[in-house]
């Protein structure tokens, strides 16, 4: 506490008060006070600023420590057991010594709509499952032929999966009849003007809702304006689950992360199978939670929010995993437009995945 010592008083509104301590009274010496007040105010502001900076610095450091804590907690042995409970049987009691033996029994299937979905949205979960020695399968329901780049995108998907640790024998691309078309068999070279036009079309497509329904030719076209046939998509998915004895299915949720109608169609197909009880008893279904745009581009800073908000399963990868996910994304050369680079640098989906369980209805329900 600094006292005015009777020399730093200021008279104002017929009231005597001290500008420094505001309580004491004394004789006012204007010249002396102004001099002292200036010196004192500078010191006061400096202290205020220092306090603010210290609080800010403390908050930032604490936030980073919190992120570190969550990351280590998510990668702990306890968290592995949590994963295993989901992957095998949710009620099963698993001992620590059993974890390495049981992961071999996990047969996970990622359901995606286009080549590049696997690394743009599911890379953390794929890397985590591969790390846990699970058998990871991928079913991509279209070959991404919207810009007649189907053949190239197919190759890119295989390269990306190799980086993520999914063997080519476990990657299935549903390409119906389109792969036999001659234009899909040759790599496509584009000029700068065409690239720019494609970029504009990409942006436009993201804003436009689906307006048409897929025809009955057996195709699931890569097209945001086409509604996929739910019965066809669900029958393909079910065949794949049975053929490969899948016990864990991971796919989009009802909002499809980016809102693409092909993504949401997969969720509808899986929900349909779940509601009529056609999914095998030992198979769990998980949907990737869609988050808001602001959270989506907070990168690793979003981790505490994901951790605090309710979800059934949270998956986080570290810097090594992120580099691997980035390498996988860079395999999709035809998709590397400027906004995709921004996505790679800032998207939280490159390092964090949160899932919700899709509830399953009564088994083998007959609908008349
Ligand atoms: Zn997609």
The CATH number given to whatever domain includes residue 239 is: 3.40.50.10320
> pLDDT grade, residue 305 (50/70/90)?
very high
- Identify whether residues 109 and 63 lie together within a single domain: no
- Identify whether residues 55 and 141 lie together within a single domain: no
- Identify whether residues 70 and 127 lie together within a single domain: no
113 Cα–ligand 1 center, Å: 5
Q: For residue 91, is it within any domain? A: no
152 Cα–ligand 1 center, Å: 16
121 Cα–ligand 1 center, Å: 9
- Identify whether residues 177 and 62 lie together within a single domain: no
Return phi, psi of residue 11, to 5°. Answer: -95, 125
More confident residue, 10 or 245: 245
> pLDDT grade, residue 12 (50/70/90)?
very low
Q: Are 120 and 287 in contact (CB under 8 A)?
A: no
Structure letter (DSSP) for residue 12: E
More confident residue, 253 or 368: 253
Q: Note residues around ion ligand 1 (Cβ under 5 angstroms).
A: 113-114, 117
176 Cα–ligand 1 center, Å: 18
Q: For residue 18, is it within any domain? A: no
Q: Are 242 and 279 in contact (CB under 8 A)?
A: no
State mean pLDDT over 33-61.
75
289 Cα–ligand 1 center, Å: 15
What is the number of helices (H) and of strands (E) in the chain?
14, 11
- Identify whether residues 240 and 127 lie together within a single domain: yes
Q: What is the pLDDT of residue 113?
A: 94
Q: For residue 337, is it within any domain? A: yes
12 Cα–ligand 1 center, Å: 70
Q: For residue 180, is it within any domain? A: yes
Look at residue 187 and tell me whether its pLDDT is greater than 50: no
- Identify whether residues 331 and 219 lie together within a single domain: yes
Q: If you average pLDDT over every residue of the chain, what do you get? A: 78
365 Cα–ligand 1 center, Å: 31
250 Cα–ligand 1 center, Å: 14
- Identify whether residues 144 and 43 lie together within a single domain: no
45 Cα–ligand 1 center, Å: 53
120 Cα–ligand 1 center, Å: 8
> pLDDT grade, residue 11 (50/70/90)?
very low
Q: What percent of the chain has pLDDT over 70?
A: 67
Q: What is the pLDDT of residue 271?
A: 94
- Identify whether residues 170 and 36 lie together within a single domain: no
260 Cα–ligand 1 center, Å: 7
Full-model pTM: 0.75
- Identify whether residues 70 and 107 lie together within a single domain: no
Q: For residue 365, is it within any domain? A: no
- Identify whether residues 185 and 327 lie together within a single domain: yes
54 Cα–ligand 1 center, Å: 44
Q: Which residues contact 354 (CB under 8 A, 6 or more apart)?
A: 288, 289, 291, 306, 309, 311, 313, 314, 315
> pLDDT grade, residue 295 (50/70/90)?
very high
Specify the DSSP element, H or E, that contains 309. Answer: none
- Identify whether residues 209 and 256 lie together within a single domain: yes
242 Cα–ligand 1 center, Å: 24
Using the CB atoms, write b or e for 206-216: b if 16+ within 10 Å. Answer: eeeebeeebee
329 Cα–ligand 1 center, Å: 13
255 Cα–ligand 1 center, Å: 12
Q: For residue 126, is it within any domain? A: yes
309 Cα–ligand 1 center, Å: 25
> pLDDT grade, residue 188 (50/70/90)?
very low
107 Cα–ligand 1 center, Å: 23
Q: Which residues contact 119 (CB under 8 A, 6 or more apart)?
A: 126, 160, 163, 164, 325, 328, 329, 331, 332
Chain segment 127-140, per-residue pLDDT in tens: 999 998 899 999 99
Q: For residue 66, is it within any domain? A: yes
Return phi, psi of residue 49, to 5°. Answer: -65, -40
Look at residue 23 and tell me whether its pLDDT is greater than 80: no
**Cα–Cα distance for residue pair 51/353, rounded to 1 Å:** 37
Ramachandran quadrant class, 189 (left: phi over 0; alpha: psi -120 to 50; beta: rest) = beta
231 Cα–ligand 1 center, Å: 20
117 Cα–ligand 1 center, Å: 5
69 Cα–ligand 1 center, Å: 32
Q: What percent of the chain has pLDDT over 90?
A: 51
Q: What is the pLDDT of residue 180?
A: 38
Q: What is the pLDDT of residue 103?
A: 58
Q: What is the pLDDT of residue 74?
A: 82
109 Cα–ligand 1 center, Å: 16
Q: What is the pLDDT of residue 76?
A: 77
State mean pLDDT over 176-180.
46
Structural domain that includes position 56 = 26-74
- Identify whether residues 32 and 118 lie together within a single domain: no
Q: What is the pLDDT of residue 278?
A: 86
More confident residue, 88 or 340: 340
State mean pLDDT over 70-94.
68
Per the structure, the count of domains in the chain is 2
State mean pLDDT over 33-45.
56
More confident residue, 234 or 101: 234
**Cα–Cα distance for residue pair 253/355, rounded to 1 Å:** 9
State mean pLDDT over 309-314.
91
20 Cα–ligand 1 center, Å: 65
More confident residue, 124 or 180: 124
More confident residue, 362 or 115: 115
Q: For residue 55, is it within any domain? A: yes
Among 63-77, 165-179, 267-281, the range scoring the smallest mean pLDDT is 165-179
Q: What is the pLDDT of residue 3?
A: 44
137 Cα–ligand 1 center, Å: 17
Q: Is 333 helix (H, G, I), strand (E, B) or coil?
A: helix
Look at residue 189 and tell me whether its pLDDT is greater than 70: no
More confident residue, 141 or 282: 141
């Amino acid at each position: 506490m600094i006292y005015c010592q009777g020399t730093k008083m200021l008279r104002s509104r017929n009231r005597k008060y001290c500008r420094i301590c505001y309580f004491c009274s004394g004789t006012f010496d204007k010249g002396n006070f102004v001099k002292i007040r200036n010196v004192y105010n500078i010191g006061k502001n400096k202290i205020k600023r220092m306090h603010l900076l210290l609080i800010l610095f403390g908050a930032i450091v604490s936030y980073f420590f919190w992120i570190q804590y969550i990351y280590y907690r998510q990668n702990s042995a306890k968290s592995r057991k949590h994963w295993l409970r989901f992957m095998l049987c949710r009620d099963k009691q698993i001992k620590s010594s059993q974890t390495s033996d049981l992961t071999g029994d996990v047969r996970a299937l990622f359901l995606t709509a286009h080549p590049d979905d696997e690394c743009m949205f599911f890379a953390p979960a794929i890397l985590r499952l591969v790390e846990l020695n699970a058998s990871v399968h991928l079913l991509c329901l279209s070959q991404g032929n919207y810009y007649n780049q189907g053949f190239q995108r197919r190759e890119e998907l295989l390269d990306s999966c190799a980086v993520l640790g999914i063997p080519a024998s476990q990657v299935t691309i549903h390409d119906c009849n389109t792969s036999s078309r001659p234009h899909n068999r040759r790599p496509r070279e584009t000029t700068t003007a065409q690239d720019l036009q494609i970029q504009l079309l990409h942006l436009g497509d993201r804003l436009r809702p689906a307006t048409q329904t897929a025809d009955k030719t057996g195709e699931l076209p890569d097209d945001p304006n086409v509604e996929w046939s739910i019965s066809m998509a669900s029958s393909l998915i079910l065949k794949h689950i049975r053929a490969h004895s899948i016990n864990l299915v991971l796919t989009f949720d009802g909002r499809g992360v980016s809102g693409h109608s092909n993504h949401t169609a997969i969720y509808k197909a899986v929900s349909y199978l779940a509601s009529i009880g056609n999914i095998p008893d030992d198979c769990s279904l998980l949907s990737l939670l869609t988050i808001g745009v602001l959270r989506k581009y907070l990168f690793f800073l979003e981790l505490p929010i994901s951790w605090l908000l309710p979800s059934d399963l949270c998956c986080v990868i570290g810097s090594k995993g992120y580099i691997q996910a980035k390498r996988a994304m860079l395999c999709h050369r035809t998709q590397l437009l400027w906004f995709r680079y921004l996505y790679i640098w800032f998207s939280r989906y490159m390092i964090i995945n949160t899932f919700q369980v899709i509830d399953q209805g009564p088994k083998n329900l007959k609908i008349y």
